[in-house]
Structure 1
Amino acid sequence: MERVQFQQEQMLAELKDLVDKDIFTKQETKHILKKRTQFETALVRRVAKKADFLRYAAYEMGLEQLRRKRVERLKIPDGPTTISDYALVRRQFHIFERALKKFKADVGLWIQYIDVAKREGAHTLVGRVTARALQLHPDTPALYILAAGHEMGQGSPSAARTLLQRGLRLNGESIDLWREYVRMELAFMESLRRRWAVLGLDEKGKGKEHAEHAVEGLAEDADDSAEARAAIMQGALVKSVIASAGQAVDRTELFEALIAVIHEFPLADGLARVLLDQVYGLLRAARPHDARAARVLAERFLAADAVDEALVDGVQRANEEMLALCADGGEEMFHAYVSFAAAVCDRVMDGSLVCDGVQMD
Structure 2
Amino acid sequence: MADDGNNAKRLKTSEDDRLIADLRRTITELESEIGRRRGRRDWRDDLESEIEQRCVRRVEGNHEVLPVVLEVVVAPSVDLSRIDTSIVAQITSFLGTSRELVNLALTCKSFGWRQPTSGLNWSLVEEVARQEVYSRATGTEMKSLPRYVSGTTTWLSILHRFEHLLLFDVLAGGGGIEHRNGDESRVYGTTNDYCTAVSNSNIMTTGSHFAEFEITGTPFIGVARPMPKEIFSRESFNFFNSDHFDALLAARTDRWGDGKVHACQYFCRDGGAIWTSFRGYPGYHWDRYWEGYRYEGCRTGDTIGMLLNLDEGTLTVYRNNRRLGVMKRGLSGSYCWYVRVGTDHAVAIKRGALPNAEN
- Shorter-chain TM-score range: under 0.3
Q: Which has the higher helix share?
A: 1
What TM-score results when the alignment is normalised by the length of structure 1? 0.27
Report which of the two structures shows the higher radius of gyration computed on alpha carbons: 2
Q: Which has the higher strand share?
A: 2
